[in-house]
Amino acid sequence: MVLDSLSSGIQKALDKIGGKGFVDEEVIRSACKEIQRALLQSDADVELVFDLTESIKERAMNEEPPKGLTEKEHVVNIVYEELVKFLGKDEAEIPLKGGRILLMGTFGSGKTTTSGKVARFYKNRGLKPALVACDTYRTAAYDQLKQIGEKLDVPVYGDPDEEDSAVVLKDALEKVEEEVIIVDSSGRDALNEDMVEEITKLNDILDPDERFIVIPADMGQQAGKQARRFQEELDITGVVVTKMDGTAKGGGALSACAATGASVKFIGTGEEMKDLEKYDPERFVSQLIGYGDLEGLLERIDQDQAAEQAKKIMEGEFTLEDFQSQMNQVQSMGSLEEVMGKIPGINKAKLPDGVLNMQEEKMDVYNYIIDSMTPDERKDPKIIDSSRKKRIAAGSGVEVEDVSELIKLYRQSKKAMKMFKGNKRGMKGNLQKMMKQFGGGF
Protein backbone atom coordinates (compact mmCIF):
# COMPACT_ATOMS: atom_id res chain seq x y z
CA MET A 1 0.00 0.00 0.00
CA VAL A 2 0.95 3.65 0.03
CA LEU A 3 3.54 4.49 2.72
CA ASP A 4 4.46 0.90 3.50
CA SER A 5 7.22 1.83 5.96
CA LEU A 6 4.95 4.15 7.94
CA SER A 7 2.14 1.62 7.89
CA SER A 8 4.36 -1.22 9.10
CA GLY A 9 5.70 0.97 11.90
CA ILE A 10 2.22 1.91 13.12
CA GLN A 11 1.05 -1.70 12.91
CA LYS A 12 4.14 -2.79 14.85
CA ALA A 13 3.09 -0.40 17.61
CA LEU A 14 -0.41 -1.87 17.66
CA ASP A 15 1.03 -5.38 17.74
CA LYS A 16 2.82 -4.44 20.95
CA ILE A 17 -0.54 -3.60 22.48
CA GLY A 18 -2.38 -6.59 21.06
CA GLY A 19 0.31 -9.08 21.92
CA LYS A 20 0.22 -8.41 25.66
CA GLY A 21 -2.18 -9.89 28.17
CA PHE A 22 -2.74 -6.46 29.71
CA VAL A 23 -2.05 -2.78 29.00
CA ASP A 24 0.14 -0.84 31.40
CA GLU A 25 2.31 2.27 31.17
CA GLU A 26 5.29 0.30 29.87
CA VAL A 27 3.25 -1.18 26.99
CA ILE A 28 1.84 2.24 26.08
CA ARG A 29 5.26 3.90 26.15
CA SER A 30 6.76 1.15 24.01
CA ALA A 31 3.95 1.49 21.45
CA CYS A 32 4.36 5.26 21.38
CA LYS A 33 8.08 4.92 20.69
CA GLU A 34 7.26 2.77 17.64
CA ILE A 35 4.79 5.41 16.46
CA GLN A 36 7.38 8.15 16.97
CA ARG A 37 9.99 6.20 15.04
CA ALA A 38 7.63 5.52 12.13
CA LEU A 39 6.46 9.13 11.84
CA LEU A 40 9.91 10.66 12.18
CA GLN A 41 11.16 8.34 9.44
CA SER A 42 8.37 9.74 7.25
CA ASP A 43 9.83 13.21 7.85
CA ALA A 44 7.03 14.43 10.12
CA ASP A 45 7.82 17.40 12.34
CA VAL A 46 9.52 16.34 15.57
CA GLU A 47 7.51 18.64 17.83
CA LEU A 48 4.21 17.57 16.27
CA VAL A 49 5.13 13.90 16.62
CA PHE A 50 5.93 14.24 20.31
CA ASP A 51 2.74 16.20 20.91
CA LEU A 52 0.83 13.35 19.21
CA THR A 53 2.37 10.60 21.31
CA GLU A 54 1.96 12.62 24.51
CA SER A 55 -1.76 12.90 23.72
CA ILE A 56 -1.94 9.15 23.12
CA LYS A 57 -0.16 8.39 26.41
CA GLU A 58 -2.26 10.83 28.43
CA ARG A 59 -5.57 9.52 27.06
CA ALA A 60 -4.52 5.86 27.29
CA MET A 61 -3.46 6.22 30.92
CA ASN A 62 -6.39 8.32 32.13
CA GLU A 63 -9.50 7.55 30.07
CA GLU A 64 -11.86 4.77 31.03
CA PRO A 65 -12.80 2.44 28.15
CA PRO A 66 -16.36 3.06 26.92
CA LYS A 67 -18.91 0.34 27.42
CA GLY A 68 -18.38 -2.57 25.03
CA LEU A 69 -14.62 -2.08 24.55
CA THR A 70 -11.79 -3.77 26.38
CA GLU A 71 -8.85 -1.75 27.65
CA LYS A 72 -6.71 -2.86 24.69
CA GLU A 73 -9.40 -2.02 22.17
CA HIS A 74 -9.80 1.39 23.73
CA VAL A 75 -6.07 2.14 23.45
CA VAL A 76 -5.99 1.08 19.79
CA ASN A 77 -8.99 3.32 19.13
CA ILE A 78 -7.17 6.22 20.82
CA VAL A 79 -4.21 5.70 18.47
CA TYR A 80 -6.61 5.75 15.53
CA GLU A 81 -8.37 8.94 16.66
CA GLU A 82 -5.14 10.81 17.42
CA LEU A 83 -3.59 9.84 14.07
CA VAL A 84 -6.70 11.13 12.30
CA LYS A 85 -6.28 14.49 14.07
CA PHE A 86 -2.57 14.50 13.27
CA LEU A 87 -3.16 13.98 9.54
CA GLY A 88 -5.95 16.46 9.04
CA LYS A 89 -9.13 15.41 10.85
CA ASP A 90 -11.61 16.79 8.29
CA GLU A 91 -12.66 14.93 5.16
CA ALA A 92 -12.14 16.89 1.94
CA GLU A 93 -15.25 18.61 0.64
CA ILE A 94 -15.49 18.22 -3.14
CA PRO A 95 -18.84 19.56 -4.44
CA LEU A 96 -19.99 17.36 -7.32
CA LYS A 97 -21.30 20.12 -9.52
CA GLY A 98 -20.14 22.32 -12.34
CA GLY A 99 -17.40 24.79 -11.55
CA ARG A 100 -14.00 26.25 -12.36
CA ILE A 101 -10.76 24.91 -10.93
CA LEU A 102 -7.32 26.55 -11.18
CA LEU A 103 -4.30 24.29 -10.54
CA MET A 104 -0.96 25.78 -9.63
CA GLY A 105 2.40 24.48 -8.48
CA THR A 106 6.15 24.55 -9.00
CA PHE A 107 8.09 22.49 -11.54
CA GLY A 108 8.10 18.77 -10.93
CA SER A 109 5.01 18.70 -8.74
CA GLY A 110 2.95 16.64 -11.20
CA LYS A 111 0.51 19.46 -11.92
CA THR A 112 -0.33 18.59 -15.53
CA THR A 113 -0.88 14.92 -14.75
CA THR A 114 -3.00 15.94 -11.78
CA SER A 115 -5.14 18.10 -14.06
CA GLY A 116 -6.04 14.97 -16.00
CA LYS A 117 -6.69 12.98 -12.85
CA VAL A 118 -9.06 15.65 -11.54
CA ALA A 119 -10.87 15.63 -14.90
CA ARG A 120 -11.28 11.86 -14.64
CA PHE A 121 -12.56 12.21 -11.06
CA TYR A 122 -15.40 14.47 -12.21
CA LYS A 123 -16.11 12.52 -15.38
CA ASN A 124 -16.53 9.29 -13.43
CA ARG A 125 -19.14 11.04 -11.34
CA GLY A 126 -21.30 11.98 -14.30
CA LEU A 127 -20.05 15.50 -15.02
CA LYS A 128 -18.51 16.82 -18.22
CA PRO A 129 -15.02 18.23 -17.63
CA ALA A 130 -12.75 20.20 -19.94
CA LEU A 131 -9.02 20.89 -19.66
CA VAL A 132 -7.41 24.23 -20.47
CA ALA A 133 -3.69 24.27 -21.28
CA CYS A 134 -2.44 27.52 -19.75
CA ASP A 135 1.07 26.27 -19.07
CA THR A 136 2.78 28.32 -21.74
CA TYR A 137 6.12 28.31 -19.92
CA ARG A 138 7.12 24.65 -20.05
CA THR A 139 8.03 23.09 -23.38
CA ALA A 140 5.54 20.46 -24.58
CA ALA A 141 3.12 21.10 -21.70
CA TYR A 142 0.29 21.55 -24.21
CA ASP A 143 1.17 18.30 -25.99
CA GLN A 144 1.23 16.42 -22.68
CA LEU A 145 -2.18 17.71 -21.66
CA LYS A 146 -3.55 17.00 -25.13
CA GLN A 147 -2.44 13.36 -24.87
CA ILE A 148 -4.04 13.08 -21.45
CA GLY A 149 -7.28 14.54 -22.77
CA GLU A 150 -7.36 12.09 -25.66
CA LYS A 151 -6.78 9.18 -23.29
CA LEU A 152 -9.67 10.31 -21.09
CA ASP A 153 -11.89 11.43 -23.96
CA VAL A 154 -11.96 14.89 -22.41
CA PRO A 155 -11.67 18.04 -24.58
CA VAL A 156 -8.53 20.17 -24.24
CA TYR A 157 -8.54 23.87 -25.07
CA GLY A 158 -5.34 25.78 -25.77
CA ASP A 159 -2.92 27.14 -28.33
CA PRO A 160 0.63 25.73 -28.43
CA ASP A 161 1.84 28.79 -30.32
CA GLU A 162 0.50 31.38 -27.85
CA GLU A 163 2.94 32.53 -25.15
CA ASP A 164 0.48 34.58 -23.09
CA SER A 165 -1.51 32.28 -20.80
CA ALA A 166 -4.10 34.99 -20.19
CA VAL A 167 -4.88 35.11 -23.91
CA VAL A 168 -5.17 31.30 -23.99
CA LEU A 169 -7.63 31.32 -21.10
CA LYS A 170 -9.80 34.11 -22.48
CA ASP A 171 -10.04 32.34 -25.83
CA ALA A 172 -10.86 29.00 -24.15
CA LEU A 173 -13.63 30.48 -22.03
CA GLU A 174 -15.33 31.75 -25.18
CA LYS A 175 -15.41 28.22 -26.59
CA VAL A 176 -15.80 25.83 -23.67
CA GLU A 177 -19.23 24.28 -23.14
CA GLU A 178 -18.41 21.68 -20.48
CA GLU A 179 -19.59 21.86 -16.86
CA VAL A 180 -16.22 21.60 -15.10
CA ILE A 181 -13.33 23.73 -16.35
CA ILE A 182 -9.88 22.65 -15.11
CA VAL A 183 -7.02 25.04 -15.85
CA ASP A 184 -3.40 23.85 -15.84
CA SER A 185 -1.17 26.87 -15.17
CA SER A 186 2.55 27.51 -15.65
CA GLY A 187 5.00 26.52 -12.93
CA ARG A 188 8.40 27.87 -11.88
CA ASP A 189 11.33 26.54 -9.89
CA ALA A 190 9.88 28.38 -6.90
CA LEU A 191 7.01 30.71 -6.07
CA ASN A 192 8.34 34.04 -7.34
CA GLU A 193 6.93 37.38 -8.50
CA ASP A 194 6.49 36.22 -12.11
CA MET A 195 4.50 33.19 -11.05
CA VAL A 196 2.34 35.18 -8.62
CA GLU A 197 1.62 37.78 -11.28
CA GLU A 198 0.67 35.18 -13.89
CA ILE A 199 -1.55 33.17 -11.52
CA THR A 200 -3.22 36.38 -10.34
CA LYS A 201 -4.12 37.27 -13.93
CA LEU A 202 -5.55 33.83 -14.59
CA ASN A 203 -7.46 33.97 -11.33
CA ASP A 204 -9.04 37.33 -12.25
CA ILE A 205 -10.09 36.03 -15.67
CA LEU A 206 -11.33 32.62 -14.53
CA ASP A 207 -12.92 33.61 -11.20
CA PRO A 208 -12.44 30.00 -10.03
CA ASP A 209 -14.46 28.12 -7.47
CA GLU A 210 -11.33 26.28 -6.36
CA ARG A 211 -7.64 27.16 -6.38
CA PHE A 212 -5.58 24.02 -5.79
CA ILE A 213 -1.85 23.94 -5.17
CA VAL A 214 -0.15 20.70 -6.23
CA ILE A 215 2.66 19.61 -3.89
CA PRO A 216 4.79 16.45 -4.19
CA ALA A 217 4.91 14.23 -1.10
CA ASP A 218 8.70 13.94 -1.28
CA MET A 219 8.90 17.47 0.14
CA GLY A 220 8.01 16.03 3.53
CA GLN A 221 7.46 18.70 6.18
CA GLN A 222 8.62 21.38 3.72
CA ALA A 223 5.21 20.90 2.08
CA GLY A 224 3.66 22.89 4.90
CA LYS A 225 5.90 25.88 4.28
CA GLN A 226 5.06 25.86 0.57
CA ALA A 227 1.34 25.54 1.28
CA ARG A 228 1.55 28.49 3.66
CA ARG A 229 3.33 30.64 1.08
CA PHE A 230 0.78 29.87 -1.61
CA GLN A 231 -2.00 30.61 0.88
CA GLU A 232 -0.53 33.99 1.71
CA GLU A 233 0.16 35.01 -1.88
CA LEU A 234 -2.66 33.37 -3.85
CA ASP A 235 -5.39 32.46 -1.35
CA ILE A 236 -5.53 28.76 -2.21
CA THR A 237 -8.62 26.72 -1.29
CA GLY A 238 -6.97 23.31 -1.15
CA VAL A 239 -3.91 21.11 -1.64
CA VAL A 240 -3.32 18.10 -3.86
CA VAL A 241 -0.45 15.96 -2.51
CA THR A 242 1.11 13.93 -5.33
CA LYS A 243 3.66 11.10 -5.54
CA MET A 244 2.39 9.38 -2.41
CA ASP A 245 3.39 6.05 -3.94
CA GLY A 246 7.07 6.74 -4.33
CA THR A 247 8.24 8.36 -1.11
CA ALA A 248 8.62 7.63 2.57
CA LYS A 249 7.86 11.28 3.37
CA GLY A 250 4.14 11.26 2.61
CA GLY A 251 3.17 11.25 6.27
CA GLY A 252 5.34 14.30 6.82
CA ALA A 253 3.76 16.13 3.88
CA LEU A 254 0.20 15.44 5.03
CA SER A 255 0.84 16.33 8.67
CA ALA A 256 2.69 19.50 7.65
CA CYS A 257 -0.22 20.65 5.50
CA ALA A 258 -2.65 19.89 8.33
CA ALA A 259 -0.51 21.91 10.75
CA THR A 260 -0.77 24.99 8.50
CA GLY A 261 -4.54 24.67 8.24
CA ALA A 262 -4.33 23.96 4.50
CA SER A 263 -7.07 21.56 3.44
CA VAL A 264 -5.80 18.52 1.53
CA LYS A 265 -8.40 17.77 -1.15
CA PHE A 266 -6.80 14.91 -3.08
CA ILE A 267 -3.81 12.58 -2.82
CA GLY A 268 -2.08 11.16 -5.88
CA THR A 269 -1.10 7.54 -5.34
CA GLY A 270 0.52 6.60 -8.66
CA GLU A 271 1.22 7.62 -12.24
CA GLU A 272 -1.99 6.36 -13.85
CA MET A 273 -5.06 8.57 -14.32
CA LYS A 274 -7.00 6.40 -11.85
CA ASP A 275 -4.45 7.03 -9.09
CA LEU A 276 -6.18 9.94 -7.39
CA GLU A 277 -8.20 9.73 -4.17
CA LYS A 278 -10.31 12.28 -2.38
CA TYR A 279 -8.50 12.77 0.91
CA ASP A 280 -10.28 11.48 3.96
CA PRO A 281 -8.06 11.19 7.05
CA GLU A 282 -10.30 8.51 8.58
CA ARG A 283 -10.05 6.31 5.50
CA PHE A 284 -6.34 7.03 5.15
CA VAL A 285 -5.55 6.13 8.75
CA SER A 286 -7.80 3.06 8.56
CA GLN A 287 -5.71 1.79 5.67
CA LEU A 288 -2.48 2.90 7.34
CA ILE A 289 -3.06 0.82 10.46
CA GLY A 290 -4.56 -2.16 8.67
CA TYR A 291 -8.30 -1.54 8.90
CA GLY A 292 -8.56 -1.24 5.11
CA ASP A 293 -10.24 1.25 2.79
CA LEU A 294 -13.16 -0.48 1.12
CA GLU A 295 -14.68 2.80 -0.03
CA GLY A 296 -11.46 3.73 -1.80
CA LEU A 297 -11.33 0.30 -3.40
CA LEU A 298 -14.86 0.62 -4.73
CA GLU A 299 -14.01 3.99 -6.28
CA ARG A 300 -11.44 2.23 -8.45
CA ILE A 301 -13.89 -0.36 -9.76
CA ASP A 302 -15.40 0.23 -13.17
CA GLN A 303 -18.22 2.73 -12.64
CA ASP A 304 -20.78 0.65 -14.55
CA GLN A 305 -20.32 -2.23 -12.11
CA ALA A 306 -19.71 -0.28 -8.93
CA ALA A 307 -23.26 -0.15 -7.58
CA GLU A 308 -23.92 -3.88 -7.97
CA GLN A 309 -20.50 -4.94 -6.73
CA ALA A 310 -20.58 -2.49 -3.84
CA LYS A 311 -23.78 -4.06 -2.54
CA LYS A 312 -22.39 -7.59 -2.85
CA ILE A 313 -19.07 -6.71 -1.27
CA MET A 314 -20.61 -4.79 1.61
CA GLU A 315 -22.99 -7.65 2.35
CA GLY A 316 -20.34 -10.33 1.93
CA GLU A 317 -22.57 -12.21 -0.53
CA PHE A 318 -20.38 -12.29 -3.61
CA THR A 319 -19.76 -15.62 -5.30
CA LEU A 320 -16.60 -17.00 -6.87
CA GLU A 321 -17.87 -15.65 -10.19
CA ASP A 322 -17.98 -12.17 -8.67
CA PHE A 323 -14.60 -12.77 -7.07
CA GLN A 324 -13.20 -13.73 -10.49
CA SER A 325 -14.64 -10.58 -12.04
CA GLN A 326 -13.08 -8.43 -9.33
CA MET A 327 -9.76 -10.26 -9.58
CA ASN A 328 -9.61 -9.56 -13.30
CA GLN A 329 -9.91 -5.84 -12.61
CA VAL A 330 -6.76 -5.81 -10.49
CA GLN A 331 -4.56 -4.72 -13.37
CA SER A 332 -6.67 -1.62 -13.94
CA MET A 333 -6.99 -0.91 -10.22
CA GLY A 334 -3.41 -1.45 -9.10
CA SER A 335 -1.40 -4.31 -7.63
CA LEU A 336 -3.13 -7.01 -5.62
CA GLU A 337 -1.17 -5.86 -2.57
CA GLU A 338 -2.69 -2.40 -2.95
CA VAL A 339 -6.18 -3.85 -3.40
CA MET A 340 -5.86 -6.25 -0.46
CA GLY A 341 -4.52 -3.41 1.67
CA LYS A 342 -7.82 -1.62 1.18
CA ILE A 343 -10.02 -4.56 2.22
CA PRO A 344 -11.02 -4.18 5.88
CA GLY A 345 -10.02 -7.03 8.14
CA ILE A 346 -7.57 -8.64 5.76
CA ASN A 347 -4.29 -9.38 7.52
CA LYS A 348 -1.83 -9.37 4.64
CA ALA A 349 0.77 -11.25 6.67
CA LYS A 350 -1.61 -14.20 7.00
CA LEU A 351 -2.55 -14.48 3.34
CA PRO A 352 -1.25 -17.49 1.39
CA ASP A 353 2.41 -17.23 0.38
CA GLY A 354 2.96 -15.30 -2.82
CA VAL A 355 -0.56 -13.90 -3.07
CA LEU A 356 0.45 -10.27 -2.64
CA ASN A 357 3.07 -10.55 -5.37
CA MET A 358 0.71 -12.29 -7.73
CA GLN A 359 1.78 -11.84 -11.33
CA GLU A 360 -0.34 -12.22 -14.44
CA GLU A 361 0.56 -15.90 -14.63
CA LYS A 362 -0.85 -16.48 -11.14
CA MET A 363 -4.03 -14.66 -11.98
CA ASP A 364 -4.29 -16.81 -15.12
CA VAL A 365 -3.99 -19.91 -12.96
CA TYR A 366 -6.84 -18.75 -10.73
CA ASN A 367 -8.95 -18.01 -13.79
CA TYR A 368 -8.31 -21.52 -15.13
CA ILE A 369 -9.33 -22.97 -11.77
CA ILE A 370 -12.60 -21.06 -11.59
CA ASP A 371 -13.38 -21.80 -15.24
CA SER A 372 -12.93 -25.52 -14.49
CA MET A 373 -15.59 -25.43 -11.78
CA THR A 374 -19.23 -26.25 -12.32
CA PRO A 375 -21.78 -23.40 -12.07
CA ASP A 376 -22.89 -24.78 -8.69
CA GLU A 377 -19.33 -24.81 -7.38
CA ARG A 378 -18.76 -21.21 -8.45
CA LYS A 379 -21.98 -20.12 -6.73
CA ASP A 380 -21.42 -22.16 -3.55
CA PRO A 381 -17.73 -23.04 -2.97
CA LYS A 382 -18.66 -24.76 0.30
CA ILE A 383 -19.58 -27.86 -1.70
CA ILE A 384 -15.99 -28.20 -3.00
CA ASP A 385 -14.61 -31.17 -1.08
CA SER A 386 -11.31 -32.99 -1.63
CA SER A 387 -12.56 -35.07 -4.56
CA ARG A 388 -13.92 -31.99 -6.29
CA LYS A 389 -10.62 -30.20 -5.71
CA LYS A 390 -8.79 -33.05 -7.43
CA ARG A 391 -11.15 -32.91 -10.40
CA ILE A 392 -10.86 -29.11 -10.68
CA ALA A 393 -7.06 -29.27 -10.42
CA ALA A 394 -6.87 -31.90 -13.15
CA GLY A 395 -9.23 -29.95 -15.38
CA SER A 396 -7.27 -26.72 -15.03
CA GLY A 397 -3.81 -28.29 -15.15
CA VAL A 398 -2.74 -27.15 -11.69
CA GLU A 399 -1.98 -28.66 -8.30
CA VAL A 400 -4.64 -29.31 -5.67
CA GLU A 401 -2.79 -26.85 -3.42
CA ASP A 402 -3.49 -24.09 -5.95
CA VAL A 403 -7.21 -24.79 -5.74
CA SER A 404 -7.09 -24.72 -1.94
CA GLU A 405 -5.13 -21.46 -2.01
CA LEU A 406 -7.73 -19.77 -4.19
CA ILE A 407 -10.64 -20.93 -2.04
CA LYS A 408 -8.83 -19.77 1.11
CA LEU A 409 -8.30 -16.30 -0.34
CA TYR A 410 -11.94 -16.12 -1.40
CA ARG A 411 -13.21 -17.19 2.03
CA GLN A 412 -10.98 -14.72 3.87
CA SER A 413 -12.25 -11.89 1.71
CA LYS A 414 -15.89 -12.88 2.15
CA LYS A 415 -15.50 -13.23 5.90
CA ALA A 416 -13.93 -9.78 6.16
CA MET A 417 -16.71 -8.23 4.08
CA LYS A 418 -19.43 -9.71 6.28
CA MET A 419 -17.74 -8.13 9.27
CA PHE A 420 -18.39 -4.74 7.75
CA LYS A 421 -21.95 -5.23 6.53
CA GLY A 422 -23.80 -1.95 6.61
CA ASN A 423 -20.78 0.10 7.70
CA LYS A 424 -18.46 1.42 5.00
CA ARG A 425 -15.81 2.78 7.36
CA GLY A 426 -16.13 -0.12 9.75
CA MET A 427 -14.94 1.99 12.63
CA LYS A 428 -17.96 2.03 14.95
CA GLY A 429 -20.29 -0.94 14.94
CA ASN A 430 -17.57 -3.50 14.28
CA LEU A 431 -14.63 -2.10 16.22
CA GLN A 432 -14.38 -5.06 18.57
CA LYS A 433 -14.22 -7.55 15.71
CA MET A 434 -11.59 -5.49 13.92
CA MET A 435 -9.38 -5.35 16.96
CA LYS A 436 -9.11 -9.13 16.88
CA GLN A 437 -7.20 -8.82 13.60
CA PHE A 438 -4.23 -7.49 15.55
CA GLY A 439 -2.03 -10.34 16.68
CA GLY A 440 -4.95 -12.59 17.58
CA GLY A 441 -4.66 -11.35 21.16
CA PHE A 442 -7.86 -9.34 21.47
Count of domains forming the chain? 3
Biggest CA-to-CA distance, the chain: 75
Question: How sure is the predictor about 260, in pLDDT bands with cuts at 50, 70 and 90?
Answer: confident
pLDDT at res. 348 = 53
Dihedral sign from CA coordinates of 67, 71, 76, 81 = positive
Half-sphere exposure of 277 (CA within 13 A, CB side): 26
Give the CA-trace dihedral at 89, 283, 120, 127, to 10 degrees. Answer: -70
C-alpha 11, offset from chain centre = 18
Range of the domain at 409: 294-426
Domain boundary among 86, 112, 139: 86
pLDDT at res. 428 = 43
For residue 194, tell me if it sits in a domain: yes
80 and 9 assigned to the same domain: yes
121 and 171 assigned to the same domain: yes
For residue 93, tell me if it sits in a domain: no
Question: How sure is the predictor about 305, in pLDDT bands with cuts at 50, 70 and 90?
Answer: low
- Nearest CA-CA partner of 88 in 347, 335, 364, 283: 283
269 and 342 assigned to the same domain: no
129 and 262 assigned to the same domain: yes
Q: What is the CATH number of the domain that holds 15?
A: 1.20.120.140
36 and 112 assigned to the same domain: no
252 and 315 assigned to the same domain: no
Percent of the chain with pLDDT over 90: 43
- 261 phi and psi angles, rounded to 5 deg: 85, 0
For residue 434, tell me if it sits in a domain: no
Q: What is the mean pLDDT of the chain?
A: 82
Domain boundary among 60, 86, 112: 86
112-121 pLDDT, tens digit per residue, is 999 999 999 9
119 and 259 assigned to the same domain: yes
Q: Are 240 and 92 in contact (CB under 8 A)?
A: no
- In this prediction, residues 307-331 reach a mean pLDDT of 64
C-alpha 1, offset from chain centre = 9
312 and 418 assigned to the same domain: yes
Q: What is the CATH number of the domain that holds 346?
A: 1.10.260.30
Q: Quote the CA–CA distance of 20 and 16 in Å, as a whole number.
A: 7
- In this prediction, residues 14-29 reach a mean pLDDT of 80
For residue 285, tell me if it sits in a domain: no
193-240 pLDDT, tens digit per residue, is 999 999 999 999 999 999 999 999 999 889 999 999 898 889 899 999
75 and 135 assigned to the same domain: no
Question: How sure is the predictor about 314, in pLDDT bands with cuts at 50, 70 and 90?
Answer: low
- Nearest CA-CA partner of 116 in 94, 99, 97, 101: 101
Q: Which amino acid is it at 11?
A: Q
Which positions ≥6 away from 331 have C-beta within 8 Å? Answer: 360
For residue 65, tell me if it sits in a domain: yes
Q: What is the CATH number of the domain that holds 189?
A: 3.40.50.300
For residue 310, tell me if it sits in a domain: yes
For residue 432, tell me if it sits in a domain: no
- In this prediction, residues 357-384 reach a mean pLDDT of 82
377 and 250 assigned to the same domain: no
Q: Quote the CA–CA distance of 85 and 74 in Å, as a whole number.
A: 17
- Between 427 and 13, where is the model more confident? 13
Q: 251, exposed or middle or buried, with CB in 10 Å at 0-12, 13-18, 19+?
A: buried
For residue 437, tell me if it sits in a domain: no
179-191 pLDDT, tens digit per residue, is 999 999 999 988 8
Q: 280, exposed or middle or buried, with CB in 10 Å at 0-12, 13-18, 19+?
A: buried
Q: Quote the CA–CA distance of 81 and 87 in Å, as a whole number.
A: 10
143 and 249 assigned to the same domain: yes
pLDDT at res. 245 = 82
125 and 239 assigned to the same domain: yes
Question: How sure is the predictor about 342, in pLDDT bands with cuts at 50, 70 and 90?
Answer: low
pLDDT at res. 129 = 97
**Angle, helices 386-396/360-371, rounded to nearest 10 degrees:** 120
**Would you say residue 269 has pLDDT above 50?**
yes
